[in-house]
Amino acid sequence: GRAGGTGGTGGTGGGRSARDDAPKDATEGWGTRWARFVLRRPLPVLLLGVVGLGALALPMTDLRLGNPGDEAKPVSTTERRAYDALAEAFGPGFNGPLSIVVDARGTADAKDAVRTVARRIGDTGGIVSVSPARFNEAGDTAVFQAVPSTAPTDERTKDLVTSIREERPEIVSGTGVTFAVTGTTALDIDIAGKVQSALVPYLTVVVGLAVVLLLLVFRSLLVPLKAAAGYLLSVLASLGVVVLVFQQGHGAGLLGAEHTGPIMSLMPIFLVGIVFGLAMDYEVFLVSRMREAYVHGRTPGESVTEGFRHSARVVAAAALIMVAVFAGFVSEDDSMIKMIGFGLASAVLLDAFVVRMALVPAVLALLGHRAWWLPARLDRLLPRVDVEGEALHRRPAGTDTPPSGTVAPREVSRT
């Protein structure tokens, strides 16, 4: 099971406990002490982390996407005051009417057919009024507005648009025309639906590429799978926190969010993409040092401690900087900027300090030598990616004596 090992000391651990796996260091820092703490209690740390992230991810099941409008702006703005005044005077749906475009080409009496369609749509449950139709110069295309009884971002408005489109054959029956539902409200609903349906394939592609790349770098089967699973947990948990605050309203007042509603449609795309890059950076920072220690003869426990001794401060500092930067956007008045900043700050915080700092060492401690196992056939098929530069320290066979006129290179010792 030692892929690429050098057969150094401590290969099997010799029955040493996890407490003794880590080499002693008189000047050990908090990273070393934390790694030893996790090595002594890997299962409780793993269970606590997974259960905690899973609980935070639960609100994700209620995710509703949309594009918040003037209703999400602070009440101090004129746009929000105008929105509230119109909603109070004419109903919440007045701020988001549906545009109905009727194609009446080929119909003998276009005006009568359009009136029939407008009347049938007006009779649909959830529609409070229909405006007079306006025709183009040719008289074969008309447009009118249908005002729903609910707000543009209300889930019932989405159901209403879906219902009108599904009932299109019945509405146009006997008229010889056809129509389409459009307008800002319908477009926002369509965009949200497209993004939500593409979220799972998008995540699958991103996670799949991450597994392939980490497989090449670490020459291990389980380490990339562990990294991908941790990334998914942190992304889902951060989306769950965003839903909890900005959609369900828990703690929204503490962040200055004056309106709750659907999550911005592009929020999951931003979150998945940006957090992927940061999460993989933290993974490589930590685990590459662990692998280097392992292939040079350290035990699994010693390798984990070695990785934290040299990389924990870098990861923690980088994560805190990114959290501070993203958290700065929470102070903005614009609800979308506030949402993006809060979501990214939460994601980086959870990924760096829960997934990378706690779940990664716990899983590696439980797996032991199996963490670095790679099937022999897969090992032969995968191209070699020499991240640590090991090839530079290997002298090819038959070159012990340098040719005349050359100077033999000095051996480079690893620290």
Instruction: Find the mean pLDDT for residues 95-115.
Output: 90
| Coil vs helix vs strand at 102 | strand
CB 346 within 8 A of CB 242: yes
Cα–Cα distance measured from residue 290 to residue 310, given in angstroms and rounded to the nearest whole number: 10
Give me 69's structure tokens.
Answer: 């409008």
Look at residue 127 in the predicted model and tell me its pLDDT. Answer: 94
25-68+197-378: CATH class: mainly alpha
pLDDT tens, residue by residue, 269-287: 889 988 998 898 898 888 8
Look at residue 77 in the predicted model and tell me its pLDDT. Answer: 85
Integer Rg of the chain from CA: 30
Return the higher-pLDDT residue of 256 and 18.
256
Q: Please provide the size of the chain in residues.
A: 415
Q: Given a cut of 60, is residue 1 above it in pLDDT?
A: no
Taking the CB of residue 325, how many other CB atoms lie within 10 A of it? 13
Q: How far is CA 148 from the centre of its chain?
A: 33
**Confidence class for position 261, pLDDT limits 50, 70, 90:** confident
pLDDT tens, residue by residue, 164-212: 999 999 999 888 899 999 999 999 999 988 998 888 899 899 889 889 8
3-state DSSP helix/strand/coil % of the chain, to nearest 5: 60, 5, 30
The overall average pLDDT reported for the chain is 84
Which CATH number is correct for 98-182, 2.60.40.10, 3.30.70.270, 3.30.70.1320, 3.30.70.1450? 3.30.70.1320
Measured in degrees and rounded to the nearest 5, phi and psi for residue 128 equal -100, -25
Domain ranges (residues) in the chain: 25-68+197-378, 98-182
- Where is 178: in which H helix or E strand? strand 178-182
Same fold, 25-68+197-378 and 98-182: no
Look at residue 285 in the predicted model and tell me its pLDDT. Answer: 86
pLDDT tens, residue by residue, 326-343: 999 988 878 888 899 999
Percent of the chain with pLDDT strictly greater than 90: 41
Give me 375's structure tokens.
Answer: 């099937």
Q: Comparing C-alpha atoms, which of 261, 268, 331 is closest to residue 72?
A: 261
| Coil vs helix vs strand at 166 | helix
Cα–Cα distance measured from residue 116 to residue 132, given in angstroms and rounded to the nearest whole number: 12
- Residue in the structure block whose two tokens are 């509405």: 171
Look at residue 333 in the predicted model and tell me its pLDDT. Answer: 79
Cα–Cα distance measured from residue 309 to residue 311, given in angstroms and rounded to the nearest whole number: 6
Cα–Cα distance measured from residue 274 to residue 42, given in angstroms and rounded to the nearest whole number: 29
